[in-house]
Structure 1
């Protein structure tokens, strides 16, 4: 805790009635469900989007991007697992940054996480609508109506209860994993190493391995993120976990390991089966690759089951956006009505309000790729802040009780911090307008914080209490 943070004016406390209206269903989520949630966040990336990184950097460039970004997520996950055990709160990354960097750092981190998870469902919903039409379903129904119906159904399921919602998510995720297994079986007979390098060198100093040179590798980095994007949302379920100290590390790290397997299989098999040149432009890389190699039966199954991957990520991102909004609202950083919970102990107001905003974004912008690039920018900002939080907490609070200690300590989260900053810069290589728009949203939220919400924070909100405890211990020391 910094000196400036301790000098800030103390916020007011709220009554027990305030928190009774703002409580989640504790003990309702097992580590297996947490792992399923982590996989659900990112598994849609296996089915679409990542392959455009091959068009930027070639197969080797995309593989490097996958491994580098995978390392960033893995090292960050170690730190998140440690911090979520020490501070099991729905605020997650915001709460970690609040304790490490004060209210300003906490607000900025929390808003970045919220923007990331609020934009992701909007982006994915446009992909779902396109996917439904591509399957020939509801061809006469406008995309806007399909998007609205999906939001209504899945927001409604989450209002019913977190246990029920995560069971549905887990089931959908299993279908998506089955689709990946079927894809691997169908494409394997056509695999050829030569297919990995069929893009001719297109830049000075380039090679068959890196046809677009080193700059192509940098441009591919955001696409490497798509295979892991969202897994950092697992700690947002900490207050609802049965045993956070044991379940959070198992859930986060287990999800990362499975995502490494599925992501590597997609990058290797799509390209080795259908060719790098083909893979770099495919709209639906798994399905298109199977059709390209003459396996239409496998393609038909993966085409239908692949919708489950999109739905799983859509569903889980709605969950995380609502929990981040709930935590920020409960502590006063956002309007306090957003943290109301109903009889089912779910943040129904946040779910509904965010759902409406996300439908407006999806229908109004209508470009899923642009929306996803906006989400990636916000995600990179949050990654840098969360890694920095882990480093500062180790340096300033070595005595903090930690049921789980991140392997590699701050050495690995320091590497993840640097990679997050590199990834942040790389987003401007892909879509400078999307990055600029997201930055403008974050600035607007911080203006709201400085003008209004920092004067109306809730001192006894769990996230604020963690920070107050640290300040008290520092004063005693």
Structure 2
């Protein structure tokens, strides 16, 4: 790492991160309350519960609820590390910032590119979920081909418009959708538990899973459990919104850790309730979506109200979770691209904002990429791609946290992860373990998609290398640190 402290005319970092960079016209506006940041992060994490239910239940069978509890415990150390890093380095960009400061600008770029692999896949995956639900519930699979792409593109345009509006619009919409979804899923859990069909006998084949035929029961279940990291990535969106928060920087930890715990508890309760009502001897383990709807119809075959309840569950169990997840990741990816433009990883035009303080070009680019991703029709390919990319990015951030502990113990840390460097080592080991087990279970289609995405990143990286070799103001990137604004 080559780093030099800039003159004092450029403002140094502070524990409040009150200012945006003076070299950028406009900028992000401070208008997000802690509740909005929590709901944006929790909504981003909150997975497509009643759409990806088939994937979860196929990967971990009756023990899916235990898999979620284990993954919650495994993700928490990573959350602790991100909570410390985000309060010490409170600038939009999260892993871009952490790994540039912790290692170098190349690590910063590639970690950002990896996490955006997951973030940018979410809008298209979400649209596919809504289209499949419409086909399942109302259209008898009549929405396909070019018509599906057109409807999907319209939905993506609506998300883009919301992202370009004031923060309070997105924050309020996210809060409403999230809490309605959580309430609806808890009601559904209660229906399963008290249906008269919930039985411990349905857990007799506890570790049955879709990978058992290839890897055996034990290893197959562990591989499936590793992929469950996908429903947890999203807490890293909190640092992406740090410059827009109206709350003390140290309170970021509440949004990061609170979002992980909230989602983990809801997942465990919901899938414990559902698994106890499924006849696992007849379950296909084929990752087909909407298992919850079919289970409800089997459990309550004579209930006249079940028809409208399944439609309502589709709204608060499919549409709302997808809406919150897409909006949270869209917001975060926009701010990652904004930071890359502002800090000389990408052209300065990426840091231009509209009158509401929303970056324009990043929003339009994400819209275009998401429409292109609609061609990737496999939901399991999306799922696996997100899991692997997130695990590698988390490992890189854990390495940076360890290096910063060693190199700069004097830097102010408004929040310190419990356990010190041991917690950071645990975060690294967990991230690498998840990545390894994901590698074992990833299919050819996912690897092809990942290689194509990384190939695009390689082209951008080479272009930046050429740009950085030219002497002048464009030859370095910069980051705010507790020691001031530093060039790398």
- Give the TM-score band, short-chain normalised: 0.7 to 0.9
Tell which deviates more after alignment, 298-307 or 321-330: 298-307
* Match in the other structure for 1:405: 416
* Match in the other structure for 2:105: 103
- Whether 2:344 is the aligned partner of 1:340: answer no
- Whether 2:54 is the aligned partner of 1:24: answer no
CA shift for structure 1 position 151: 0.9
* Match in the other structure for 2:87: 85
CA shift for structure 1 position 64: 4.9
Report matched runs for 1:3-18 at 5 Å: 4-6=1-3, 18=23
* Match in the other structure for 1:33: 36
Change (3 A) 1:221 1:431: farther
Change (3 A) 1:202 1:59: closer
CA shift for structure 1 position 201: 6.9
User: Does the CA contact (< 8 Å) of 1:458 and 1:464 recur in 2?
Assistant: no
SS at match of 2:104: helix
Change (3 A) 1:236 1:458: farther
Q: Pick from 59, 64, 73: which aligns with 2:75? A: 73
CA shift for structure 1 position 427: 2.4
Report matched runs for 1:205-224 at 5 Å: 212-224=216-228
Tell which deviates more after alignment, 434-443 or 338-347: 434-443
User: Could you tell me how far apart the structure 2 residues matched to 1:365 and 1:201 are?
Assistant: 29
* Match in the other structure for 1:475: none
CA shift for structure 1 position 447: 4.4
* Match in the other structure for 2:162: 157
Structure 1: state its 5+ residue gaps: 473-477
User: Could you tell me how far apart the structure 1 residues matched to 2:200 and 2:230 are?
Assistant: 24
Report matched runs for 1:404-443 at 5 Å: 404-428=415-439, 429-443=441-455
Change (3 A) 1:63 1:5: farther
Tell which deviates more after alignment, 41-50 or 188-197: 41-50
Q: Pick from 311, 319, 331: which aligns with 2:323? A: 311
User: Could you tell me how far apart the structure 2 residues matched to 1:314 and 1:339 are?
Assistant: 22
User: Could you tell me how far apart the structure 2 residues matched to 1:36 and 1:340 are?
Assistant: 26
* Match in the other structure for 2:123: 121
CA shift for structure 1 position 199: 7.0
User: Does the CA contact (< 8 Å) of 1:338 and 1:349 recur in 2?
Assistant: yes
User: Could you tell me how far apart the structure 2 residues matched to 1:460 and 1:251 are?
Assistant: 36
* Match in the other structure for 2:16: none
- Whether 2:200 is the aligned partner of 1:193: answer yes
User: Could you tell me how far apart the structure 1 residues matched to 2:420 and 2:474 are?
Assistant: 31
User: Could you tell me how far apart the structure 1 residues matched to 2:54 and 2:233 are?
Assistant: 15
User: Does the CA contact (< 8 Å) of 1:41 and 1:316 recur in 2?
Assistant: yes
Report matched runs for 1:293-332 at 5 Å: 293-294=299-300, 296=306, 298-306=309-317, 307-332=319-344
User: Could you tell me how far apart the structure 1 residues matched to 2:209 and 2:339 are?
Assistant: 49
User: Could you tell me how far apart the structure 2 residues matched to 1:202 and 1:33 are?
Assistant: 37
User: Does the CA contact (< 8 Å) of 1:116 and 1:375 recur in 2?
Assistant: yes
User: Does the CA contact (< 8 Å) of 1:43 and 1:176 recur in 2?
Assistant: no
Q: Deviations over 1:14-63 (max 9, x none)?
A: 99774124x1012x111111211121112234323254344344333x34
User: Does the CA contact (< 8 Å) of 2:45 and 2:260 recur in 1?
Assistant: no
* Match in the other structure for 2:292: 286
Tell which deviates more after alignment, 414-423 or 442-451: 442-451
User: Does the CA contact (< 8 Å) of 1:84 and 1:244 recur in 2?
Assistant: no
User: Could you tell me how far apart the structure 2 residues matched to 1:138 and 1:274 are?
Assistant: 25
Taking structure 1 as the reference length, what is the TM-score of the superposition?
0.86
CA shift for structure 1 position 316: 1.3
- Whether 2:46 is the aligned partner of 1:43: answer yes
Q: Pick from 389, 400, 410: which aligns with 1:389? A: 400
User: Could you tell me how far apart the structure 1 residues matched to 2:29 and 2:259 are?
Assistant: 23
Change (3 A) 1:24 1:470: closer
User: Does the CA contact (< 8 Å) of 1:5 and 1:101 recur in 2?
Assistant: no
Q: Pick from 238, 242, 255: which aligns with 2:242? A: 238
User: Could you tell me how far apart the structure 2 residues matched to 1:334 and 1:402 are?
Assistant: 29
Change (3 A) 1:81 1:467: same
Change (3 A) 1:316 1:7: closer
Tell which deviates more after alignment, 212-221 or 87-96: 212-221
User: Could you tell me how far apart the structure 2 residues matched to 1:44 and 1:33 are?
Assistant: 18
User: Does the CA contact (< 8 Å) of 2:185 and 2:316 recur in 1?
Assistant: no
- Whether 2:178 is the aligned partner of 1:167: answer no
User: Could you tell me how far apart the structure 1 residues matched to 2:340 and 2:361 are?
Assistant: 13
Higher relative helix content: 1
* Match in the other structure for 2:14: none
Q: Pick from 223, 232, 239: which aligns with 1:228? A: 232
Q: Pick from 130, 133, 139: which aligns with 1:131? A: 133
User: Could you tell me how far apart the structure 1 residues matched to 2:442 and 2:476 are?
Assistant: 39
User: Could you tell me how far apart the structure 1 residues matched to 2:420 and 2:240 are?
Assistant: 22
* Match in the other structure for 1:452: 464
Report matched runs for 1:258-297 at 5 Å: 258-277=262-281, 278=283, 280-281=285-286, 283-294=289-300, 296=306
